[in-house]
Amino acid sequence: MELGHVVVLAGGLSYEREVSLRSGRRVTDALRALDIPVELRDADATLLDSLADDPPDAVFPVLHGAAGEDGSIRDVLDLLDVRYVGARADACRVAWDKPTAKSVVRQAGLRTPDSVALPKEVFHDLGAASVLDQIIRGLGLPLFVKPTRGGSALGASVVHEPSELSAAMVGCFAYGDAALVERYIEGTEIAVSVIERHGHPQALPAVEIVAPDGRYDYTARYDAGDTEFVTPARLTADAAERATAAAVTAHRALGLRDLSRTDLIVDPDGEVHFLEVNVAPGMTETSLLPRAVSNAGLDLGEVCRDLLLAQFA
C-alpha cells in the first residue's frame, strides 16, 4: 500500500522534550525525502481531536521520557484504534522500569550488574547515612546511580568514592522518585539497535561510545563533537556476536516490537552486561540508532517507511 497520511509524534512535556523534537524533525525529513506525506505533531491538548477528526494511516512516535516510553501515549493510540510503530503499551511499561527490565532479561539468561532500587522515602524513613553505608558495603565501589525511570542520562552519575554517593543520590532524585544503584562495570560501552524486518528482529552494527572523561551524560549525548562514536564497535568477533545476541534476546524477552536500542557494557574478558533498553530510541544527528542504520548500509527514511508499512501486514 501507499502511505497517504503519516503523523510523527514528538515533543511532549518530559525532561527530554527538546531531544524528542529533534528526533521528530529527523524522522519527518527522512520520510519527506521519500515523498511520503507526513505531519510532525506535538503531544499537546490538540492532538487527540486532530487524530480523531483526521485519522492518519499510522503514527511514528518519537516521544522520549515519561508518557512517550511508559506506555501511556500508546494506550491512548490504541483507544483511538490508530496504528503506530513500536512496542505496545504493556511491553513499554516493563521496559521503562529499569529494575523490572533487568529482572526480565536476567531470567532470559543475560548478565546485568548487581543493583538495588530504592525510593526516596527509604532514605527519609531509615536514615540516609545508614542506607548509603549499606549500599557501599553490599555493592562495593565504583557504583553507577540513575533514576529507575527516564533516559538521556539525566540524573545519572558514577560514584568512585564513598563521599560522592550522597550527591549522586540528590542528583538522581531531581529526576525521579526512585534510584537504581548498580555496581559499575568497567569496559567498552556500546549500544546495539534492533529493527524488525519481515517480522524478525535484526541487530544492527554495535556503536561504541567513547565519551569525554568517560562521562556519557546529557551533554555528551547531544552536543555534536563532544563524544566519539565508533561503528562498528571495536570488539572481538566473539564479543560482537554475544552483544548482538544479547540485544535480540532483550528485545524478545521484553516483548518489544519494531525497534529498540539496548545499552551494554563489554568487560575486559569479553563478557556482555545488559544495562537498559530504550523503546523509543533517539533519532537526532548524534543518536545511536541512525548511526547503526547508516553503518549497515541502510537508509533511515526507508527503514522508517518499512516500519510504518509493517503495521498493515
Residue tagged active-site, from 23, 222, 260, 301:
222
Judged on CB neighbours under 10 Å (0-12, 13-18, 19+), 45 is exposed
Where do we find the cell 529493527? 195
Q: If DSSP codes are grouped into helix, strand and coil, which group holds residue 130?
A: helix
Is 103 catalytic? The answer is no
DSSP characters over 161-176? SHHHHHHHHHHHHTS-
Of 101, 28, 105, 98, the C-alpha closest to 62 is: 28
Residue tagged active-site, from 14, 15, 16, 189:
16
Is 54 catalytic? The answer is no
145 beta partners: 157, 181
Where do we find the cell 551494554? 264
Residue tagged active-site, from 69, 196, 258, 263:
263
Residue tagged active-site, from 41, 278, 287, 301:
278
Is 152 catalytic? The answer is yes
Q: Are 203 and 194 in contact (CB under 8 A)?
A: yes
Going by the DSSP 8-state scheme, the letter that residue 311 receives in this structure is: G
Residue tagged active-site, from 20, 23, 152, 287:
152
Q: If DSSP codes are grouped into helix, strand and coil, which group holds residue 89?
A: helix
Sequence-distant (6+) residues with CB within 8 A of 117 are 98, 99, 148, 178, 179, 180, 181
Pairing of strands 58-61, 6-10: parallel
Residue type, 101: A
Is 295 catalytic? The answer is no
Query: What whole-number distance in Å separates Cα of residue 179 and Cα of residue 185?
Result: 18
Is 16 catalytic? The answer is yes
Residue tagged active-site, from 41, 282, 287, 305:
282
Going by the DSSP 8-state scheme, the letter that residue 275 receives in this structure is: E
Is 261 catalytic? The answer is yes
Is 263 catalytic? The answer is yes
Residue tagged active-site, from 22, 242, 257, 261:
261
Q: E-assigned strands of the chain?
A: 6-10, 38-42, 58-61, 115-119, 143-147, 157-159, 178-183, 188-197, 200-203, 207-210, 228-230, 259-266, 272-278
Residue tagged active-site, from 20, 57, 276, 287:
276
Helices 237-253 and 98-107, axial angle in degrees (round to 10): 110
Catalytic residues, by residue number, are: 16, 152, 222, 261, 263, 276, 278, 282
